[in-house]
Structure 1
Amino acid sequence: MEQHRAGQPGIAELAMQTVDDAKRWARAETAYYKALAGERGGDAGIGVGLALAAAGLVQAAVVALLVGLVLTLAPAVGPGWATLIVVVATLLIASIIGMVAIGRLRRAARPLGEES
């Protein structure tokens, strides 16, 4: 039989209170993290939208720069050769950047413990 002082809860009652407190705590934590995720998700969405807008403007500026290069070279070598020169130079730069990017991605994806 369980012996306890008068007016004080027994072990079973204390265990039930602990379980109830843990459930309330878990619900409160879940609600907090849902609210936090909603707030951060909104910020992330706005950030992604702004980054895409910036990337679009950068792309437009690069196109304008390349067209300007073609127009600048056209009087000296003709429009066809100017276009070819700009396209080949742009593809060369893009392939160098691409190779560096692939190297970095491979380095980032290497197995743990492998130094390089």
Structure 2
Amino acid sequence: MALLTALAVGAGGAAGAVARYAVGLSVGRRAVDTGLVNVFGSLLFGVAIGADFGGAPAVAVTVGFCGAFTTFSSFAVETVRLAEDGQRLAAAGNAVGTLAAALLAVFLGIALGAAL
């Protein structure tokens, strides 16, 4: 891996982690903020793929920023916690809704990116 690419991933990751933390603070509801970042991150990832700008900038956005911004593990834990708390319908809605919205966001992002 080239040094520039590694630095781009690190910079993107740092920005993504800070952005994720900021969303968590501003939204304040764990399952909601996680859903928002996962869907928006999927959209942004799709735009980067669709735009096909390649190189270090693409890796900084996709692997770095989106990798740090989105969080599958938090999504999984929050879904399980909802189920454990007896909110099985909310858990199922969170699981299906987040996955469907994230996939749709990627498709939309790819189309938007290709139009750039």
User: Do the structures match in fold with TM over 0.5?
Assistant: no
Q: Which has the larger radius of gyration?
A: 1
Which one has a larger percent helix, Structure 1 or Structure 2? 2
**Higher relative contact order structure (alpha carbons within 8 Å, sequence separation ≥ 6):** 2
TM-score under structure 2 length normalisation? 0.37
